[in-house]
Amino acid sequence: MSKLSLDRILQSQGFGTRKYCRELIADGELSIGGEVRDQYKESVETAGLVFSIFDEEWVYRERVYLALNKPANFECSRKPSHHPGVLSLLPEQFSWRDVQPVGRLDHDTTGLLLMSDDGPFIHAQSSPKKHIPKLYVATTAEPVSDELIEKLMNGVQLHDEPAPLSAQTCVRLGAYQLQIVLEQGKYHQVKRMLAAAGNHCAALTRTAIGRLSLAQLDLAQGEWCYLDEEHLDLLIPDEGAVP
């Protein structure tokens, strides 16, 4: 953290172009500690900075780390084509500061989605080489049989994959529902594995990434929250731990 001019601070936090941020400041829309600051060249310390724009309080964050409980029929893309993008569920400031989904969930898949403007973090969380387990609950079209569980655990061959892919764990939750943990992060992996094993995925939700779960965050569908250091620590692979 360091000192930055007020216009640079607002721009970095996603409030628009430098010119627009200067206009906001000149118009008296920025306050710090209840005091209006209208000189955009003024520099302030960013560490622990809390400021208000349009009477809404914001905490300065050099990088943002978010969790969203993604609803169905939203695309994990900055340029959605057939459905609204997940960024439409967040304040506009996050689009301005180039927040992006960490990996992708299909438009009809719900559940835990990470988002950030930290490139190395996005890469680390998206890379199959990191072996970060992800827990899904799948509703199936056909009953969940012992044979299906066995196939998913032993590995199924997917088209264009050099070797069979297997679940880290797989547990039957009900006649038409199972819980599966994967760490490879392949395209449409749960749906393709179920199809390769002789069933079909009727609905899918991701409930945990690493040791971070939706239950811990207590987010309703469509809700989001900031992730703090404690949450981020739960995303670091822990050998032998299954969410």
What integer pLDDT is reported at residue 237 of this predicted model? 66
* Whole-angstrom distance, CA of residue 150 vs CA of residue 52: 56
Domain that holds residue 100: 65-128+211-233
Mean pLDDT to the nearest integer, 31-55? 93
Angle at 132 between CA 218 and CA 60, to 5 degrees: 55
What integer pLDDT is reported at residue 177 of this predicted model? 97
N- to C-terminal Cα separation, the chain: 34
Whether residues 46 and 148 fall in one domain:
no
pLDDT digits over 141-165, tens only?
A: 999 999 999 999 999 888 888 889 8
Whether residues 203 and 224 fall in one domain:
no
In a domain? residue 166: yes
* Whole-angstrom distance, CA of residue 11 vs CA of residue 143: 53
Q: Count structural domains, the chain.
A: 3
Written in H, E and C, the secondary structure of the chain is CCEEEHHHHHHHCCCCCHHHHHHHHHCCCEEECCEECCCCCCEEECCCCEEEECCEEEECCCCCEEEEEECCCCECCCCCCCCCEHHHHCCHHHHHCCCEECCCCCCCCEEEEEEECCHHHHHHHHCHHHCCCEEEEEEECCCCCHHHHHHHHHCECCCCCCCCECCCEEEEEECCEEEEEECCCCCCHHHHHHHHCCCCEEEEEEEEECCEEHHHHCCCCCCEEECCHHHHHCCCCCCCCCC
Whether residues 118 and 226 fall in one domain:
yes
> 13-17, 194-198, 238-242: which range is least confident on average?
238-242
Whether residues 202 and 218 fall in one domain:
no
The β-bridge partners of 53 are: 30, 56
* Whole-angstrom distance, CA of residue 148 vs CA of residue 172: 10
The domain boundary residue, chosen from 11, 43, 59: 59
Whether residues 137 and 117 fall in one domain:
no
Please say if the pLDDT value at position 169 is more than 70. Answer: yes
Q: What is the mean pLDDT of the chain?
A: 91
* pTM score: 0.89
Whether residues 78 and 120 fall in one domain:
yes
Mean pLDDT to the nearest integer, 38-44? 94
Q: What whole-number percentage of the chain has pLDDT above 70?
A: 96
What integer pLDDT is reported at residue 241 of this predicted model? 46
The β-bridge partners of 152 are: none
Judge whether 89 and 171 are in contact, CB under 8 Å: no
In a domain? residue 48: yes
User: Between 199 and 76, where is the model more confident?
Assistant: 199
User: Between 112 and 76, where is the model more confident?
Assistant: 112
Whether residues 86 and 141 fall in one domain:
no
* 106 is annotated as an active-site residue: yes
CATH number at residue 18: 3.10.290.10
User: Between 119 and 1, where is the model more confident?
Assistant: 119
> 22-36, 85-99, 127-141, 227-241: which range is least confident on average?
227-241
CATH number at residue 88: 3.30.70.580
In a domain? residue 229: yes
Please say if the pLDDT value at position 64 is more than 50. Answer: yes
In a domain? residue 238: no
1 band by pLDDT with thresholds 50, 70 and 90: low
Whether residues 192 and 205 fall in one domain:
yes
In a domain? residue 84: yes
What integer pLDDT is reported at residue 243 of this predicted model? 47
What integer pLDDT is reported at residue 240 of this predicted model? 46
pLDDT digits over 170-217, tens only?
A: 999 999 999 999 987 777 889 999 999 999 999 999 999 999 999 999
* Whole-angstrom distance, CA of residue 145 vs CA of residue 196: 14
* Whole-angstrom distance, CA of residue 215 vs CA of residue 38: 43
Whether residues 155 and 189 fall in one domain:
yes
Whether residues 110 and 141 fall in one domain:
no
Catalytic residue among 38, 106, 108, 118: 106
Whether residues 16 and 38 fall in one domain:
yes
Please say if the pLDDT value at position 61 is more than 70. Answer: yes
